[in-house]
Amino acid sequence: MHYETKKSEEMKNLITTLLLFIGLSANAQLKSVTEGGNTGQRLSVSNAANHGDIGSNAVDLSYSGSLSTTRGATGDYSTAMGGATTASGDISTAMGYETIASGRYSTAMGFETKASGFSSTAMGEGPEASGITSTAMGVFTTASGLVSTAMGERSTASGDYSTAMGYYSTASDYASLVVGRWNSSGSSATSADSFSTSAPAFVIGNGTGSSSRSDAFKVMFNGDATVSNDLTIEGSLILGGESYTSFSGGGGALSTVSEGGNTGVRLSSSDAANHGDIGDYAVDLSYSDIESTIFGATGQYSISMGLKATANGNVSTAMGSVTTASGYVSTAMGINTTASGVFSTAMGAGTRASGNVSTAMGEGTEASDYASTVIGQFNSSGSTATSADSFSESAPAFVVGNGTNGSDRSDAFKVMFNGDATVSNDLTVNGDVTVSSDARLKANIVSLGATLSKLLNIDGKTYTIKKNGAQKIGVLAQDIQEVFPELVSEDKEGMLSVNYQGLIPVLINALKEQQKEIEYLRAQEKRIERLEQLIQN
């Protein structure tokens, strides 16, 4: 009861903070900030006293309501979003409420999550990923081992390359996989950082509490298997020194498999002809109904689950239907997703993450650039690579796609690593819009001179936006390009855009030029009036 009350209060605080953040963001814009010798981007409404010094090329979209020297995007090339978030690791991302991404390349999302390990990921409520390339997802899970994964509620993966899934499950041994709840085998380490045939490879826990741990099933790395209750065998049980030893219980028990010099675990009901050779220490829980040499868990320490899932990258995970995780430590989840970049993640439907350390989520999104994040559907920016394996300021950092299909890709919003941001439709700002214009920032300053004659060649238009039918007033980029090419830019697809703000100095000079003509005409008018008076007199 006390936990539920506390949790309810925390959720109220989270919702209140996020609503405040959304409200502030609607009235804000990104501004360049230089602190501690580094220059990055931060919301203009943010109080610098409530944030740590900005990281180099960092993007701070977070809100902090109290004094702090650590919160915000303080790591180089880091991104912080939400309430009281901290992205202190280089190239890290913190999203949600009171999340902390302190490891290099780390990601922390949700509520009070912590990702302190190199290239670690923490998602959910209260999880902590401290191991190198570790992943902690769910509620108060802990992944402290090298390349470990903890999912569910209060599960712990402390062994290197271990995976713990379920409720209070613990995977303490090297390359072990534990599911279920309150397991006994593997709850204390036999060998956490090196392979041991005396350690459990796979355990299904069925305990009821910390003082009542037990296992429904376990497989040891030496090949021993233990079933805690009845084992029903509908087919034959063959014993002997064969490379494929089947302990068939119905249609879905696990079997030790040795193929291509590697040894892993696969569903006993699987047809080996429909899978590629098992990876060393891999776990293949996938199903394939057609002949294949690639489906399944073929990478070392890989995991595949679902229909025709392929985990051929070392330490990769493929889950769902026709998913492929081919990059090192990559993750593909959903349907028809592909994660081919190193440390990449693809989730949803038809997503592709080919850039190293990239993330693609949603439908039909493609993250092709290094350390890029793409959400939404059918994005344009980032769908082809600018730089897939190294950092580039010319590449997109964050994209929200809003296309309709693979042939009609577009973006609602994008932020480039150089700090440029693009909104594809109206941008409403309730406050002032200010632009850096200090003369000390500029060189080769020359007056525009006379602009009236050029301005007369431009015609204001009314028009309809083809995509959404919105009625607009403006100019045509092609018209501006003929007289002021400096005010027109072209994207990779050849689409032109106009710097409307750059028209202001053009209008100022044209107005001054016109004013001179008016003053001249007034002088002439007075001269004519004097001549008329002389004639009349």
Q: What is the pLDDT of residue 27?
A: 55
Residue 92 lies in a domain: yes
Once rounded to an integer, what is the mean pLDDT over residues 146-165? 94
Mean pLDDT score of the chain:
87
What does the pLDDT look like over 331-388, one tens digit per residue? Answer: 999 999 999 999 999 999 999 999 999 999 999 999 999 999 999 999 998 888 889 9
- Counted domains in the chain: 3
pLDDT at position 248 is 41
Whether the pTM exceeds 0.75: the reply is no
Residues 411 and 280 in one domain: yes
Residue 311: strand pairing partners: 297, 325
Structural domain ending residue among the three candidates 99, 126, 153: 126
Q: Is the pLDDT of residue 23 over 60?
A: no
> Do 484 and 419 share a structural domain?
no
> How would residue 12 be classed by pLDDT, with cut points 50, 70 and 90?
low
Token pair belonging to 34: 């230089």
Tokens of 116: 């302190």
Residues 384 and 301 in one domain: yes
Residue 233 has pLDDT above 80, yes or no: no
Q: Name the band, by pLDDT with cuts 50, 70 and 90, for residue 49.
A: very high
Tokens 């699987």 sit at which residue?
Answer: 270
Distance CA(294)–CA(277), nearest Å, equals 8
Pair 400, 271 in one domain: yes
Confidence band, pLDDT 50/70/90 cuts, at residue 5: very low
pLDDT given for residue 529 in this prediction: 87
Q: Say if residue 419 is in the same domain as residue 488.
A: no
CATH number at residue 279: 2.150.10
Task: Verify that 275 and 407 share a domain, yes or no.
Answer: yes
Residue 506: partners with Cβ closer than 8 Å, 6 or more residues away: 448, 451, 454, 455, 484
pLDDT in tens, 459-483: 999 999 887 888 989 999 999 999 9
Q: Which of 470, 503, 507, 473 is nearest to 488 (CA)?
A: 503
Per-residue model confidence as pLDDT tens digits over 76-90 = 999 999 999 999 999
Residue 433's alpha-carbon distances to 27, 28, 120, 421, in angstroms, are 10, 9, 38, 14
Over residues 411-426, the mean pLDDT reads 87
Mean pLDDT confidence for 210-227: 91
> What's the domain range around 37?
15-126
